[in-house]
Each structure stands twice: as structure tokens, then as C-alpha cells.
Amino acid sequence: MFEHKLTAGDICTRIVSVAYPELSIDEAARVMRDQRVGSLVVVQERSTTDRHVVGVLTDRDIVTAVVATQKDPQTLRVADVMSASVVTARESDSVLDVLATMQRKGVRRVPVVDELHRLVGVVAIDDVLTVVAEAMGALANAVGAAQRHERSISGTPLGA
């Protein structure tokens, strides 16, 4: 885990639930339900391997912009409701850089793009928490091992 600097590309989920700007909101909501996700990365697709991020649509966006305002979800498109000012991370960004971006921008999910700005994955705050928890566990193990070593050379009983 610590042999190199962990990056967004290392920890991102590479299977991404996506939507297209022209998709109706009611269909986008069905995609969220069927895929059991709370957000969709909105992409313009130039080919099956060349998808560029143009927005993010969350279940909260649908609730606040459609349901709460009693608009017809069949008449609205994803482009009408999505957040177009998308925060992205590069595959090469460090996990700490991604975490700092999430904190600064107040987001819990960040699409990850390659050097040509093509979508490659998504990093969620849960992904970062997993890495931090593993690092904390390794740190605790190192401290415990050092304490055991110190006790063994000083003659102090291990349970003391």
C-alpha cells in the first residue's frame, strides 16, 4: 500500500453510472434506482472509450429542482437540472489532493479523468476513508510492534 504515492487512479471506481444531457429526468431517476446510485456523471460521448464529463446529476438535484418545484420530470432533460460546474480529479492526483479538493468544494464524489480529460472513474469519500483507515491500521500496528520491541529489550513484561 505504501510502496508509491496513492493516486485517484489507484482508488477510483472504474465502473461509472453515467447519463447523457438529453436524457429525460424521469429516465435518469430510473437509472439511479436500477443501479442503486445517488448520482450520475453526465457525459458527452464521442466514442465508447471517449466520454467527457459535462456535469453531475444527483438525487438531491432531482428532489430540489423537480419534485419540490412540482415540475414534470418527463419534460425536463438532465442538462436542465445537472450541476455543470463539475469538480474533477486527474488520475495522477494524490489521494490527499483529492481529499483537499473534496473538502474545499464541499463534494463527496469526484469524477476522475485521464490526461485527455476522458472519464476513467469516480472517487467517493468512502474510497478515501478506506485508504485512510488502512493507513491508520498500519500506523497502529507499527506503534504496537515498536512498543513490544522496546519492552522485549528492556525486560518489561508484555502485559505491563
For residue range 97-120, what is the model confidence (pLDDT) as tens digits? Answer: 999 999 999 999 999 999 999 999
Q: Any idea what the Cα angle at residue 68 is, between residues 67 and 74, rounded to 5°?
A: 25
Q: 157 φ, ψ to 5°? A: -60, 145
Q: List the strands of the sheet with 39-47, edge to edge.
A: 18-19, 39-47, 50-58
Side-chain half-sphere exposure of 13, counting CA atoms within 13 A = 16
* 3, pLDDT greater than 80: no
Q: Of 122, 125, 102, 103, whose CA–CA distance to 111 is shortest? A: 122
pLDDT value at position 141?
Answer: 81
Give the pLDDT band (50/70/90) at residue 142: confident
* 160, pLDDT greater than 60: no
- Flag the least confident range among 44-48, 81-85, 147-151: 147-151
* 2, pLDDT greater than 80: no
Cell reading at 150: 522496546
Side-chain half-sphere exposure of 79, counting CA atoms within 13 A = 7
Q: Of 92, 89, 111, whose CA–CA distance to 17 is shortest? A: 111
Are the C-beta atoms of 80 and 25 separated by less than 8 Å? yes
125 versus 132: which is more confidently predicted? Answer: 125
Paired strand residues for 44: 52
How far apart CA 61 and CA 147 sit, in angstroms, is: 51
How far apart CA 146 and CA 125 sit, in angstroms, is: 31
Give the pLDDT band (50/70/90) at residue 139: confident
What does the pLDDT look like over 28-57, one tens digit per residue? 999 999 999 999 999 998 887 889 999 999
How far apart CA 90 and CA 74 sit, in angstroms, is: 35
